[in-house]
Amino acid sequence: MTVSDWFCRASDVEAPVRLFCFPFAGGNAAAFLPWQRMLGPDVELWVAQLPGRGARLLEAPLDDLDELVARLAAAVAERGDRPFALFGHSLGALVAFEVARSLRRDGLPGPHSLWVAGAEGPGTRSVEDRLHDLPDPELIEALRDYGGTPAELLDDPEMMELLLPGLRADFALDECYTYRAGAPLDLPVHVLLADRDPHVDPARAAGWAQETSRPVHRHVFPGGHFFLFPHQATITALLARVLAADPTPTR
């Protein structure tokens, strides 16, 4: 696999720093590719495109996190010739965290920083729902409650038949995740939270501090679980400013 199989980008921007972005459950690259314009010319955006989503919709999705992380880490390593950061939202935060740990295990250059949004700490998180086991009608209603899937898709039976396998795989990755204790990462962690997110307990989100020996920077925004998009201009400006200030990679 080459990096283009697992990540895509909106343009041919060649920048001093790369940002690898990992979407939420059911998300695909299209949700984040518009960020390139807001990040500006000094940050090169690559967004994970997983099997069973987006342009890879007809491929069989992966529901094995270890295999997924290994493939994504290898793809990131192929682009590790410049400083880079990892960003993930919800499920994507867990994936980004495990990719950072995988790179460290293999002795490869690590990210400048880890950015996790809408997610509790890997070792302190609580999973109460089992969405990946639900019958199709109940899963669709659960997605409606989450608010991250457009209503026109949820109301289209043919589209949902195509989308549900990838969604189930994503929820299985999240709900069956088993935390394995390890040495803290040697990098700053930025935790982005919403003040009205019903799926994230702020006390459990504080568990990210256990995963790093460096400072944790907490950023709180108004909104619910998908707060990223109403505040994307502010978030991308923050990313661009921090990555440009200190692009030194970790090992």
Catalytic residue numbers read 90
The per-residue b/e assignment along 55-85, b for 16 or more CB within 10 angstroms, e otherwise, is: ebeeeebbbebeebbebbbbbbbeebeebbb
The Cα 120–Cα 199 span in angstroms is 9
190 strand-pairing partners: 115, 217
First to last CA, the chain: 24
- Side-chain-side CA neighbours of 17 within 13 Å: the count stands at 25
Nearest to 88 by CA among 58, 104, 65, 109: 65
The Cα 247–Cα 17 span in angstroms is 7
The Cα 246–Cα 17 span in angstroms is 10
- Side-chain-side CA neighbours of 178 within 13 Å: the count stands at 3
Q: In what order do the strands lie in the sheet with 17-22?
A: 7-8, 43-48, 17-22, 84-89, 114-117, 189-194, 216-221
Q: Do 8 and 79 form a contact (C-beta atoms < 8 A)? A: no
CA dihedral 65, 70, 76, 80 (to 10 degrees): 140
The Cα 239–Cα 233 span in angstroms is 10
